[in-house]
């Protein structure tokens, strides 16, 4: 920990010295007025400057989202320190912060990273990875958020805020065209509905032919069509403010193009066979089925009521959401029987949730800022996954192939009471104290079916050959207190130091795809996470330089671990530890140009082996999945008055070290380090007409978005190649 703090302090000294060592540059008449805009966030359930919050947080405003061509959380995650996001499919994005995350797809489990839309916690991961539509900002909070967010936030939170209705009449229309015959459009209309009411409608459509293809049919993969709409209404009546919104989206996406990638441990015979089958093909040409697909329908209704009392404000947040998805994936991406294994994976899920939160919030001018409330969440999930497996020697005898279905019907309920207060004292100090009590209840009905009815024993993998069909019901409850203690001091104006200790919690879970009735009915223990953090937040050089840093230590107790061994799922709890530091900076080079970036260093390790049934899983000392040793980003952003309008430009660079996709740390689940470059250029006329062009992955990097291991081969999905796009819009 001392080493981490020392590195962070040294980096801070170097950056500050570089800025202060050039006073002649800083004193030019033009640059004296240059400064960074203040960033307002609501990470603590009230509006605050980002620099005043004793939390490691990154915020992306609407302008940044536009200039990075961010289409969803996958585009935001890669630009925040310590964050990675990989996607098994449309319904199962896998978000990790500081090495904390999960690959569980069970109907009776929660994400480790809390994702919310307009402060509504999203229970299922597939309900959060929606295309961005009329977004105001995105906040990424790193470290446990167990006080104000509670469930699903043991490792951090990603909060999405949509634009609210305004008391004005405005319209924005946009058309888009890009690589792979991408085309689409957006329409946003805001209207006043009398003196005290307003409505806002946002609509989006997008179509893409896909950047990959099926061999030999030539049909497209990795593309599809997306539709979305949201209607919001706002009204003010005396001390009351009422806001309601309804949103819906539909995704009809092509399936994945999986590519086998061999490693040092792959059997030479398989290396030769794969190389011969794929001779002349690139990483975006696959034998994955042309019938693969990823479909999703999502809709929700949210009602927010606020009352401004004399001593405090009251907030009621009520929401219902429904998320249905289905997908089909050929997990090998190779033809059978040329390659002696084929796995056809098909899943459907129907989930709905209802949540209610009541909270009281202190007035902004209060001597002590506080928030307190209660929360209730109920979720029903009906999930089914079917595996059709064909096998041949030398991988397995043909009898080991089969047709099995795993079904789960789950009811998940969560209750919580919480409170947090920030107490200033001695003019330069602040103490933040927070606590939350959470109770989670789970009921599960799990069924494993041999669709061949025993006609070809043993039961086919992935249920067999050691498992047997089952039909079990089980229930469990979990409860834990979580807390936050943070001490902050501002010894000099706009330089704030803080130390914090946070406890995170994620309820125990039941595994999907269990091998036996005992495993299906036995829950994994709850995860507990202690986070110790030292941080610096500073805005210096007359507001031109923002430099934030944090050093942290995470101690994990009973981390829930999932690993595919062959095609069998093993589940366990393990101990883990993460040490690291993060640096974020932004510098107003002039009135027109801002440069900045971030750096993250992680040392994320298991500190114990794990036990699954009678098996010992040798994890001790291995690296946690999706935990790069280092990550960094760089950007330059500028805008100028030119040609009777405004010219804007941005360039982004991001680099990510090697990561492993599962706890084994096998060579075939290692994704090599890679970098991505993006750029944006726009010109907006005085009448609101704007034309923009952008590019992604300009270096045409080949990088893996997801890996599943089997027989020493990493069956991978590669990210999009170099792509370009342009938009034409008008605001009026």
Helix/strand/coil (H/E/C) assignment for every residue in 129-173: CCCCCCEEEEEEEECCCCCCCCCCCCCEEEEEEECCCCCCCEEEE
pLDDT for res 1: 42
Helices (H), 219-332: 268-277
Confidence of residue 139 (pLDDT cuts 50, 70, 90): very high
Residues 6+ apart with CB under 8 A from 561: 571, 572, 573, 574, 610, 617, 619, 663
pLDDT tens-digit profile of 377-429?
999 999 999 999 998 988 888 888 889 999 999 999 999 999 999 999 999 99
- Arithmetic mean of pLDDT, 618-634: 95
- Arithmetic mean of pLDDT, 583-612: 94
Residues 6+ apart with CB under 8 A from 344: 289, 328, 329, 330, 331, 387, 388, 389
Alpha-carbon distance of 162 to 174, in angstroms, equals: 18
Structure tokens at 278: 């794929």
**Under 8 Å between Cβ of 645 and 684:** yes
Alpha-carbon distance of 387 to 564, in angstroms, equals: 14
**Under 8 Å between Cβ of 349 and 325:** yes
pLDDT tens-digit profile of 448-491?
999 988 888 888 888 888 888 999 999 999 999 999 999 999 99
Nearest residue to 664 via CA among 602, 601, 712: 712
Strand, helix or coil at 23? Answer: helix
Say which residue the tokens 């007409």 belong to: 689
Alpha-carbon distance of 4 to 98, in angstroms, equals: 14
Confidence of residue 208 (pLDDT cuts 50, 70, 90): very high
Alpha-carbon distance of 478 to 506, in angstroms, equals: 9
Under DSSP, the state recorded for 363 is -
**Under 8 Å between Cβ of 403 and 395:** no
The backbone torsions φ and ψ at residue 180, rounded to the nearest 5 degrees and listed phi first, read: 60, 35
- Could you count the other beta carbons within 10 Å of the beta carbon of residue 249? 20
pLDDT tens-digit profile of 141-180?
998 988 887 676 788 889 999 999 999 999 999 999 999 9
Say which residue the tokens 């539709």 belong to: 227
Structure tokens at 622: 């291995």
Alpha-carbon distance of 732 to 722, in angstroms, equals: 33
**Under 8 Å between Cβ of 212 and 285:** yes
Residues 6+ apart with CB under 8 A from 63: none
pLDDT for res 48: 86
Q: What percent of the chain has pLDDT over 90?
A: 72
pLDDT tens-digit profile of 56-84?
999 999 999 999 999 888 888 878 888 98
**Under 8 Å between Cβ of 459 and 389:** no
Confidence of residue 188 (pLDDT cuts 50, 70, 90): very high
């Amino acid at each position: 920990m001392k080493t981490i703090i020392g590195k962070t302090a040294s980096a801070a000294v170097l950056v500050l010295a570089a800025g202060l060592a050039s006073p002649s540059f800083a004193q030019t008449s033009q640059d004296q007025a240059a400064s960074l805009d203040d960033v307002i966030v609501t990470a603590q359930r009230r509006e605050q400057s980002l620099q005043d919050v004793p939390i490691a947080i990154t915020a992306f405003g609407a302008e940044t989202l536009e200039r990075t061509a961010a289409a969803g959380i996958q585009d935001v995650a890669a630009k925040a320190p310590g964050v990675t996001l990989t996607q098994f499919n449309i319904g199962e994005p896998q978000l990790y912060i500081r090495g904390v995350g999960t690959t569980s797809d069970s109907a009776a489990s929660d994400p480790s990273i809390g994702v919310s839309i307009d402060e509504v916690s999203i229970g299922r991961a597939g309900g959060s990875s929606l295309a961005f539509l009329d977004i105001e900002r995105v906040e990424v909070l790193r470290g446990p958020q167990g006080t104000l967010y509670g469930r699903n936030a043991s490792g951090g939170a990603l909060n999405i805020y949509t634009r609210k209705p305004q008391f004005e009449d405005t319209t924005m229309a946009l058309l888009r065209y890009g690589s792979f015959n991408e085309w689409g459009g957006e329409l946003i209309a805001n209207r006043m509905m009398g003196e005290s009411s307003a409505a806002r409608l946002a609509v989006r459509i997008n179509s893409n032919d896909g950047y990959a293809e099926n061999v030999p049919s030539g049909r497209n993969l990795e593309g599809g069509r997306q539709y979305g709409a949201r209607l919001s209404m706002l009204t003010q009546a005396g001390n009351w403010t009422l806001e309601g919104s309804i949103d819906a989206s539909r995704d009809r996406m092509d399936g994945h193009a999986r590519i086998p990638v061999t490693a040092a441990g792959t059997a030479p015979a398989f290396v030769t066979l794969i190389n011969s089958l794929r001779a002349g093909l690139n990483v975006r040409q696959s034998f994955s089925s042309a019938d693969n697909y990823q479909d999703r329908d999502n809709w929700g209704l949210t009602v927010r009521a606020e009352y401004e009392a004399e001593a405090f404000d009251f907030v009621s947040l009520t929401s219902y959401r429904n998320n249905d998805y289905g997908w089909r994936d050929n997990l090998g991406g190779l033809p059978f029987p040329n390659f002696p294994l084929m796995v056809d994976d098909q899943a459907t899920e129907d989930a709905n949730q209802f949540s209610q939160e009541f909270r009281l919030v202190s007035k902004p001018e209060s001597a002590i800022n506080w928030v307190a409330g209660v929360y209730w969440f109920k979720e029903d999930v009906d999930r089914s996954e079917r595996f059709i497996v064909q096998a041949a020697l030398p991988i397995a005898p043909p009898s080991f192939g089969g047709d099995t279905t795993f079904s789960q019907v789950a009811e998940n309920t969560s209750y919580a009471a919480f409170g947090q207060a920030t107490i200033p004292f001695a003019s330069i100090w602040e103490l933040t104290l927070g606590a939350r009590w959470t109770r989670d209840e789970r009921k599960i009905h799990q069924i494993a079916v041999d669709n061949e009815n025993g006609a070809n024993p043993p039961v086919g993998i992935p249920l067999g050959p050691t498992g047997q069909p089952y039909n079990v019901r089980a229930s469990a409850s979990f409860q834990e207190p979580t807390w936050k203690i943070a001490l902050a001091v501002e010894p000099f104006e706009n330089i704030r130091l803080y130390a914090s200790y946070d406890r995170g919690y994620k309820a125990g879970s039941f595994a999907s795809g269990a091998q036996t009735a005992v495993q299906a009915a036995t829950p994994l223990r709850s995860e507990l996470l202690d986070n110790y953090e030292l941080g610096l937040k500073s805005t210096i050089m007359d507001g031109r330089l923002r430099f934030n840093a944090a050093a942290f230590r995470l101690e994990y107790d009973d981390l829930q671990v999932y690993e595919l061994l062959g095609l069998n799922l093993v589940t366990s709890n393990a101990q883990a530890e993460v040490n690291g530091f993060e640096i974020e900076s932004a510098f107003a080079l002039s009135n027109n140009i801002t440069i900045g970036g971030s750096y993250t260093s992680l040392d994320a390790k298991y500190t114990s082996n794990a036990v699954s049934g009678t098996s010992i899983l040798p994890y001790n000392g291995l690296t946690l999945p999706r935990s790069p040793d280092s990550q960094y980003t760089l950007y330059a952003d500028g805008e100028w008055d030119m040609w009777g309008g405004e010219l804007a430009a941005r360039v982004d660079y991001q680099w990510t070290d090697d990561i492993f996709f599962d706890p084994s740390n096998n060579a075939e689940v290692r994704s090599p380090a890679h970098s991505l470059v993006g750029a944006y250029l726009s010109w907006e006329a005085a009448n609101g007409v704007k034309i923009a062009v952008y590019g992604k992955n300009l270096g045409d990097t080949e990088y893996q978005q997801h890996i599943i291991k089997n027989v020493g081969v990493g069956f991978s999905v590669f990210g999009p190649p170099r792509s370009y796009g342009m938009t034409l819009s008008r605001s009026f």
